Structure 1
Amino acid sequence: RAPSSSCFSWSPKGKQLVVGDSNGALTQYKPDLKAVKVLPAPSLGGQPCRRRQRGVVVQLPICRRLPRQAQLHGEAMNVLLAASANSMELGVLGLASDQVSWMQWVLEDASRAELPLNSATREETYPVGVGLDTSTQHELPWGEGGWKKEKT
């Protein structure tokens, strides 16, 4: 059985996704979810390091705004919503039928989750967080002209 995914992160520009699995390996994906690179988990065995650390090199990206991400996972729904501070769209991933892997849901234009344009400037807006309310008691449009009453 393949290891399950335990975390993920979008690149600062929102062009790639890195997924960490339960074995500690990292897999880098393009937006079409094709694996580009796999970084295996570090080896934890062997001889202990006997050298002292004398310096640390830290490379930080130069950005006008810090990349932020939010994730919301509905355990019963097997759906993962992903929002990035650099994108006005919300990514939707669903658990595949094999109950092991996740797949990106490609939604129609009318049902895509995205933030509206700023009404004054007509510029894009970006998320600062994600919330999902599952307590609705209203009838929702469902299919071609049908309605579905949500259970409470």
Structure 2
Amino acid sequence: MTDEAGIGPSERQVNTLIFQQLCRFQIFDEKPETLSPKERFQLVAVSAKYGYAFIGTNSATIKVIKIDDLVRISDERQESPGTTVSDYPHEKLSLSDKPLHIAVDCQEQVISVITKGDANLRVHIFDIVNVCKQASSAKAFLTTGLSKETDVDLIDLQWNPVTPSLFAVCLSDGTAELWTWSEGKLSLLSSLPQIFKADAFCWSPKGKQIVIGTNDGQLLQFTHNMEQKKIVPKPDFTNEAVKVVDILWISTFMWVVAYIDEEETVQPNLAIVHAPKEQPVSFINFEDICYGSGEDRKSKYYMKFLDKWGFVIASSGNSMETGILGHKPDVKTSWDVWTLEDTARVELPLCDSDDTFLWDLP
């Protein structure tokens, strides 16, 4: 999926951005191979409000760790950066099955946990204060099935960035659903049927709309009641059939979109999609900025936009490298791949001389 003109993505050397590795904390009690390699995991969530990290393990538990403890331990080991620490204070939240996805709502009131096991996908909602205070005895106050079919997998779950009681899910059968909870009850607010071929989604920054990525490369924009507002066509930088893997909504008319070929024979390509009103849609293809090489897991891009600094940090579930896309200070529609110094990049460490891949980007 390269540009027809053969011109590579724009790059810029940035020496003022530096990432530094501190300690390594061992999360899994056994080797990660005990996890199913095909899942699109999201096993890390953080509450800045309460100062805790919630990390899924390779058993039916979530480790609840005070962030101050991680910082303290890292500070104590400044003379030996990169040290692996296996003994640190934490609590364990017990589940019925292994966690597939963990997320915290926008007001940090609740934690959602997706499990599957031998049954259908289920979402469990926990009170975040109860989990932080005493994880070992915390219980979900809401649980519901997301699909009646046992062969349906989770593509993604995202809480609305403004409305704390609202979240959306995308499922492997091509459906997308909006759920809300109140007074101890989960309710389906609206849904898109399989005919829309949903394969990814993202909330708008203000939470008023949602964009759906389809398995034929389109972006479809909807309101909360699934009234369609816009259609963005498949990218013009390739003649191949492509589908959308993941989306990050940057601004009103701009997204970062991960596209992959229909047969998933190559790693996803990241593109900036700009679709202003009554103007042509533009696509800037940056190809695979994470240099992915793994093929064992389903394709997934973890992306975070740091608006204050004007860059997107992106990691691939099938790569040990992390890429940076940044816009120019005076032209927010002009983007480059930021190239950092070798010692300033984010790279996952080797594990027993083998590559390790990312489980989440909080």
Secondary structure in 2 matching 1:99: strand
Q: 1:100: Cα distance to partner?
A: 2.2
AA in 1 matched with 2:271: V
Matched, 1:8 2:257: yes
Residue of structure 1 equivalent to 2:173: none
Matched, 1:29 2:285: yes
Matched, 1:125 2:359: no
Secondary structure in 1 matching 2:255: strand
Distance verdict in 2 for CA 1:7–1:111, change over 3 Å = same
Unaligned runs of 5+ in 1: 34-62, 132-152
Q: 1:9: Cα distance to partner?
A: 0.8
Residue of structure 1 equivalent to 2:240: none
Contact 1:16 1:28 in 2 (8 A): no
Matched, 1:94 2:343: no
Deviations 1:17-46 (A, max 9, x none): 33322248463625499xxxxxxxxxxxxx
Would you tell me which structure has more strand in proportion to its own residues? Answer: 2
Residue of structure 2 equivalent to 1:66: 298
Contact 1:93 1:102 in 2 (8 A): yes
TM-score, structure 2 as length reference: 0.24
Residue of structure 1 equivalent to 2:309: 77
Which structure 2 residues correspond to residues 35-50 of structure 1 after superposition, within 5 A? Answer: none
Percent of aligned pairs sharing the same letter: 24
102-111 vs 19-28, greater mean Cα deviation: 19-28
Matched, 1:111 2:344: yes
Deviations 1:41-83 (A, max 9, x none): xxxxxxxxxxxxxxxxxxxxxx642101111111212110001
Secondary structure in 2 matching 1:105: strand
Question: When the two structures are aligned, how many residues end up with a matched partner?
Answer: 98
Distance verdict in 2 for CA 1:78–1:92, change over 3 Å = same
CA distance in 1, matches of 2:281, 2:345: 31
Q: 1:89: Cα distance to partner?
A: 0.6
Unaligned runs of 5+ in 2: 1-251, 290-294
Distance verdict in 2 for CA 1:28–1:95, change over 3 Å = closer
AA in 2 matched with 1:65: R
CA distance in 2, matches of 1:26, 1:6: 11
Task: Please tell me the root mean square deviation across aligned C-alpha atoms, in Å.
Answer: 2.9
Would you tell me which structure has more helix in proportion to its own residues? Answer: 2
CA distance in 2, matches of 1:102, 1:113: 20
Matched, 1:20 2:267: no
CA distance in 1, matches of 2:318, 2:288: 18
AA in 2 matched with 1:18: A
Residue of structure 1 equivalent to 2:208: none
